[in-house]
Amino acid sequence: MLDQVPSPRSRLSSLLIWAGMVLIIVGGVVAGPHLVSGMPLPILSPSPGTISPSPSPLPPTPTPGEVLAPTLTPTPAVVPSPTATPTPLPPSPTPTPAIYLPTRIVIPSVGIDAPVVPTHWEMQEVAGDHQPVWVVPDAPYVGWHETSAPLGWPGNTVLNGHNWPENGPFRLLYKVQVGDPVILYSGPLVFVYQVEEVLLLLEAGQPLEVRQANARYIQPTDDERVTLVTCHPYGSTRFRLIVIARPKEWPSRLMEAP
């Protein structure tokens, strides 16, 4: 039997097969460490000094007839810093005006010097009618009508007193004349007045209208005055004696008693 000689095509096929096997082996040797370690293949970095610019997004393309609104960069809101509101101060208290109640009366021209105490009114029967009557304190006291004005205030400061018995504080009040000083004390303070009117009015047995007309002199007034009230003559209620005094020289009225 004759030996067969391989043809040229067979030899070329065998050569290609061996070359492919060699490439596979070489590729396995090169890639083997990376596949075993599980690490990814290295990524090539750009050369030093080379900057790869980031692609800028392209503006949207408007459709026909559409106008794109401009892109505005939002401005951060300005938050004003809180301003401290000052706490208002409490209002200053208004000082309460001093109230000077009379405690003593002196009329040097007729020798009157008596203590003064507050007095009140009460309902009494007078000539068959119940009427408010001011109570007159017993001698030697003079009564200050507690609803009348205090010293130094606008209004009528009313003082009453008995003209009897011998120590009646207003026993000699009928001798007072216009121009005489009337000195009233409120503790250590002194208020000086001057007599301007002396009135002698019928009282006992008079109609109610007459007695009410006499009582108008002890009503409140707008001006500052002192009104002294007693009976006359001594031991009688026939007349009502009224003495009206007004402030004398305000700068010298209020002083400390010696």
CB 173 within 8 A of CB 245: no
Which domain covers residue 220, as residue numbers? 104-256
Residue at 185 is within a domain: yes
Calpha distance 253→247 (Å, rounded): 8
Instruction: Judge whether 184 and 104 are in contact, CB under 8 Å.
Output: yes
Q: Is residue 250 a part of any domain in this protein?
A: yes
User: What pLDDT, in 10s, does the model give residues 52-89?
Assistant: 445 555 555 555 544 444 555 555 555 555 566 667 77
pLDDT single digits (tens) 75-84: 555 555 556 6
- What integer pLDDT is reported at residue 88 of this predicted model? 73
The tally of domains found in the chain comes to 1
> Residue with structure tokens 């599980």?
38
What's the pTM value of the predicted model, to 2 decimals? 0.62
Among the ranges given (141-145, 166-170, 198-202, 246-250), the one the predictor scored with the smallest mean pLDDT: 246-250
CATH assignment at residue 220: 2.40.260.10
Contact between residue 170 and residue 143 where contact means Cβ atoms under 8 Å apart = no
Q: Is 79 part of a structural domain of the chain?
A: no
**Position 249 in a domain:** yes
Q: Is residue 114 part of a domain?
A: yes
